Structure 1
Amino acid sequence: MRTWLRSCFAAVTVSATLVATGLPAAACGEDDKPAVPAARTPGDPGAIKNVKAVGNVPDAAGAISINFLDYGRRDVMVVSGEFGLKVYDLTKDPAAPKLVGQVSLPGLWETEDTEVDQNRKLVFLSRDPRAYGGTTHTGESGIYVVDVSKPEAPAILSYVKVPAGHTTSCVDGCRYLWTGGPAKADDQPADWGGRPIWVTDVRDPKHPKVNPQPIELARNDGKTDYVHDVQVDDDGVAWVSGRGGVRGYWTSGIHRDPLTNKVRRATAHEPVPYAGGGIAETAAPSRFMHNSFHPAGHRVGDGAWRGQDLIYATEENFVDGCAGDGVLTISSLAGSYHGEGWRSTPEKPFRLQSVGTWGVNGQEGSDPASDDCSAHYFDVRGKILVQSFYAQGTRFLDVSDPTNPRQIAYYRPGDASAWAPYWHGKYVYVADNARGVDILQLTK
C-alpha cells in the first residue's frame, strides 16, 4: 500500500513570488506519474498534547475516508481506501473496532470523502479515472453503489460510468449524487481547467441515471474548472469547493434565483445559487479549496464575528517547505448573496472577505523536517475544529474566535499520514493512510 499518496488537485501560480508546487504534479492529482514519499525525520518519535490515543486499527492501513451507520442497537463504521470498503462493528467497544465485512476492490484510487445514505444503508464509492492503472487522460470513472444493510455481507448493488469520479457527494437527502474532479479527460473541452459536476439520480440505487449535462460551470472567474468536493450544511445547502473558491446551492425547495431575480424550484439538476465565491488570495494563494463547512443553524464561534455568516474551507497546496502549504481559511459570506460569486471575472473579480486563517507551519508539535504540511479534511463539534495535516498529524483548534484560531491539542505520530478526522461519540476517528484508523480522545 502506498502510504504517501496525496489528495488530488493542481496548484495554480497566482503571483510571481509563489512556486506552484515543489513536488511532481502527481502529488496534486493533475499528472499520472508516481508521487514522492513525504519527507520524514529518521527516528522521529512524533508529538502529542492534550490527546489520548485510545486505539488503532492497523488492518485498515490505506484508509482514506470514514463514515458511520446507525443500526439501532448497532454502531457501524465503514472505511474506504484503495482496497475498497471495510465494515467494522463499534457496538461492543468503540475503541476496538471489529472487522465484520468488506468489499474487495484493490486498485481503486484514494476514494476521498466516501459518503453514505443512513436511511437506506448505502455507500457511494467513487471510481477515479486513475483507478486500476488508468490515467486522468483516458481512464474510466464512475460510482459504485454498495448495499450495507447487512454489515457482515456488504454487496455492490450497481456501478455506473460518470464523466467525473474523484469525489461523490449526496445532495437532496441522498436522492441524487454530485460527482466532480479530477483533471479533465482528453475528450473534454480544452478550455476546462478540470472536471465540473455531473448529477446522478440514485432514487433507484440498482439503476442509477447520470444526467449527461454537467453543472457548476464557469466557477473560476468565468472559467469551468476543477470541482473537488461538496459538503451539505444543516439547511440543505450544497457547498461546492474547488479551484476558484466555494459556492453554495439550494438543491430543493422554492427560492429566489439571484442571477435572474425570479423565484423558482431548486433541483439537483438545476440548483439555485445561494452565496459564496472566490477566497481572497491573501488567505489562500492557490485559490484551490479542497472542502468546506458552513455552520448553518448555529454559530461555531462567539468572538469578534458573532452572528456573522462564515464559511470554513481548506486550501490544499504544496510548495517547497511548509511555509506556503495549504491552510484552513475562514471567510465571511457577507456581500455574496446576490450572485456576486457567479458574476466574477478576471477583469472584475469578486472575493469573500477573509476573517482568519490557520496553518501548521511552525506550530507547536510540528516536524520542521517534513514538507508534507498541507491542510486537508476537518470536522467541527461546537467550538472545536479537528483537522488533518498529512505528516503533521491531527490538530485540534479552538475557533470560538474565528479571527484567531488557537491550537489546543495535537497528535502527530512519527509515521503520520493523516487524511481525515471524524468526531463520533466521545472519540475522534482519524483516517491515516499509513497507520489505518487512529482513535483519539481529547483530554483538555
Structure 2
Amino acid sequence: MKCWGNVIVKRRNLLVTTTLAGALAFSSLMPSAFAHDALEGIGNKVGEAFTPEEIEEMQLGYTSEGSKNVRFLSEVASKQIEPINGSQKNMADVYAHKGFAYTGTHTAGGGNGGVRVFDLSNPSDPQEVAVFANEIPHTWQEKVIVKSVNTPHFRGDLAVVSVQQTSRNNANRPDSVGGVLLYDVSDPYNPERLGFYPLDRRVTGTHELYLTTQGNRPLLLTSNPYADYYTHGTERDFQIIDVSDPTNPEKIWEWDARDLEEVPENWNGYNWTDPNDRPRAVFNHSVITDNNGHYAYVSMWDLGTVIFDIRNPEEPVYLGRTSYEPHVKGAAHSAALAKGGNILIETREVANPVGEGFESAYGYTRIYDIKDKTNPVLLSQFTTDLTYDVPNPPVSTFAKTVHDPKVQGNTLYLSYYSGGVISVDITDPTNPVQIGQYTPERGNTWGVFVDRNYVLGSDMNSGLKVLLKNNAGGNGNTPTP
C-alpha cells in the first residue's frame, strides 16, 4: 500500500476481494441498514419514515465556516429556491440541459417541492422560471434527468423525475404513490406533463434514475430501493422502461439480487451475513449508463456496483461487479465513468463510522479499472480530511461522507455534504489528487453537475450554487493557493 497525502492507493497485487459465494450464510432478520435517502430503517421501525427534523439533525451535525473562492473553483452565484405557499423547501439533486438547471427537492416542509427550473443565460444571476412534478400528494422529487429524444410518439426535451412517498404505504394517504413522472420541457418555462410510471404502493418509490437513448429509442432505468423486499418479488429494485411513448411507459425488464446464481432463492430479499459474520445489505440505490446506453452500472449497496450489458434491453446480461475487503463497508451509493468508460468512479455513502470488524471511517471514493467489465480491479481510493475525522465517542452523520460523483475530462467532481464540492485530478487514476474545494457556509451539498465552464452544486441549506472552473473570466476575487 502506498500513500500520497490523503489518497490511499492499493496496487493490483495487493487487492483483497470478497465474493458472494455459496458460503454466505443468509440472515432472516429484517432490513438492518438503509440509505438515508429512503427515509427508513436506521434507528426506526422498519417501514417508518424519518421526520424532517431527524434528517436535518443527521445531515447537519457538522458545519463549516465556508470559503467562496478556493483554488480552481469560485462562486459566481448562489440562489435559494422560492417557497411554495409560504413553505420553504430544500434542494436535492441538480442537472443541466441547454442552458437551464433542473433541481430536485427533498423532504423539508413536508415535501412536494417539485422540480425547479433555473434559466442560466446569466450564470451570475440564475432565475427560477418554473416548478413542476409536485402534483402527487405526500411525495418528494429528488432526481431529474433531461434528454432530447426523437421518436414516432414524441420529439423534444424529455424530463424524468423520481417520485418517493414521504410515508410508505400509509393508509391515511391513499393518493400518495411513488414512481416516475415524465414531462415535456421543450419549453422550460412551461413544462407539460406527459405520463406517470407508478410503482406498487408498498414500495417507497423510485429514488435515483437515469434516462438514456439507444439510437432513437429512449430508455428509463430506475432504482427502486427495497421493491423486491417489500413486494416479495412482485416488483424488482432495478427496472428498464421503454419511454418511446412518454404517455405510456412500458416496463421491458427488471432484476434484483435474487436473480444471481450465488443467491439462494429463499433469501429474504434484503440482507445476509457475510463469511466474517458481519451484516450486509443489498438494495438498488442508483443507476447510470455509458453515453451509448450499452452498459448499465447499478449501485447495489453492499453488493457493489453491478454491471450489465444492456445492448438488448429486453435481455440484459450480467457481467460483473465491484467488491470489498472484509473490513470495508460496501455502501455503493452512485457511480460515474471516466477515460472513455474504462474507469469507474464509485462513491460509498457511509454515515456510521463504527461497526465491529469494520474500519473507523466515513464514506469515501473508490476508483476501478473496468476495461474487463467481468472483473473490476480497484486502482485507488480517494479520501479527505473528513473521512477519518471520527469523534470519540463516534457520531453517525451524513455530513462527513461523500455523496455523488461527476466527471468531465480528467477532473472528478464530488458533492460532499458539509465538505461542499471537491474537485480531483484523475489524470492518473491510480493517484487521484485533490485540486480544489468549494465549501459554502453551513454546507450541506447534495448534488453536483458540470455545465460548460461552470460547476453546479445543489445545497440543501441555501439552494443552487454556480461555480466557475479554473477562475476563467472570474469575478475579480483572488483564489487561495
Query: Could you tell me the TM-score, scaled by structure 2's length?
Result: 0.68
The CA distance in 2 between the partners of 1:169 and 1:396, in whole Å, is 23
Q: How does 1:74-153 map to 2 (within 5 A)?
A: 75-82=99-106, 83-91=113-121, 93-103=122-132, 105=134, 109=139, 111-119=141-149, 120-130=156-166, 134=170, 140-153=177-190
1:125 Cα shift? 0.9
The CA distance in 1 between the partners of 2:193 and 2:229, in whole Å, is 29
Q: How does 1:395-414 map to 2 (within 5 A)?
A: 395-414=422-441
1:396 Cα shift? 0.9
- Is 1:231 the counterpart of 2:288? The answer is yes
The CA distance in 2 between the partners of 1:218 and 1:126, in whole Å, is 24
The CA distance in 1 between the partners of 2:464 and 2:325, in whole Å, is 34
1:344 corresponds in structure 2 to none
1:277 corresponds in structure 2 to 321
- Is 1:240 the counterpart of 2:285? The answer is no
Check whether the contact 1:245–1:277 (CA below 8 A) recurs between aligned residues. yes
Aligned equivalent of 1:380, options 407, 411, 415: 407
2:10 corresponds in structure 1 to none
- Is 1:209 the counterpart of 2:242? The answer is no
Aligned equivalent of 2:209, options 165, 168, 173: 168
1:46 corresponds in structure 2 to 66
Aligned equivalent of 1:33, options 45, 50, 53: 50
SS at match of 2:241: strand
The letter for the 2-side match of 1:399 is: I
The CA distance in 2 between the partners of 1:421 and 1:187, in whole Å, is 31
1:310 corresponds in structure 2 to 343
Check whether the contact 1:373–1:389 (CA below 8 A) recurs between aligned residues. yes
1:178 corresponds in structure 2 to 221
The RMSD of aligned alpha carbons is: 3.5
Aligned residues: 373
1:235 Cα shift? 3.9
SS at match of 2:81: helix
SS at match of 1:279: coil
The letter for the 2-side match of 1:270 is: E
SS at match of 1:88: strand
The letter for the 1-side match of 2:324 is: A
The letter for the 1-side match of 2:400 is: C
The CA distance in 1 between the partners of 2:412 and 2:372, in whole Å, is 26
Aligned equivalent of 1:354, options 378, 389, 404: 378
Q: Provide closer, same or farther for how the CA distance between residues 362 and 418 of structure 1 changes in structure 2, counting only shifts above 3 A.
A: closer
| Structure 1 segments of 4+ aligned residues over 6 angstroms from their partners | 366-370
Check whether the contact 2:419–2:439 (CA below 8 A) recurs between aligned residues. yes
Moved more, 376-385 or 319-328: 319-328
Q: Provide closer, same or farther for how the CA distance between residues 25 and 287 of structure 1 changes in structure 2, counting only shifts above 3 A.
A: closer
Deviations 1:304-347 (A, max 9, x none): xxxxx32111111111489521111112236653xx6xxxxxxx
The letter for the 2-side match of 1:176 is: L
Q: Provide closer, same or farther for how the CA distance between residues 297 and 178 of structure 1 changes in structure 2, counting only shifts above 3 A.
A: same
Check whether the contact 1:356–1:402 (CA below 8 A) recurs between aligned residues. yes
Check whether the contact 1:81–1:109 (CA below 8 A) recurs between aligned residues. no
Q: Provide closer, same or farther for how the CA distance between residues 199 and 418 of structure 1 changes in structure 2, counting only shifts above 3 A.
A: same
Check whether the contact 2:140–2:166 (CA below 8 A) recurs between aligned residues. no
The CA distance in 1 between the partners of 2:386 and 2:180, in whole Å, is 40
1:278 Cα shift? 2.8
Deviations 1:116-173 (A, max 9, x none): 12232111111124368859xx973211111112222112211221245122222444
The letter for the 1-side match of 2:323 is: I
The CA distance in 1 between the partners of 2:133 and 2:212, in whole Å, is 27
The letter for the 2-side match of 1:90 is: L
Check whether the contact 2:345–2:405 (CA below 8 A) recurs between aligned residues. no
Q: Provide closer, same or farther for how the CA distance between residues 316 and 296 of structure 1 changes in structure 2, counting only shifts above 3 A.
A: same
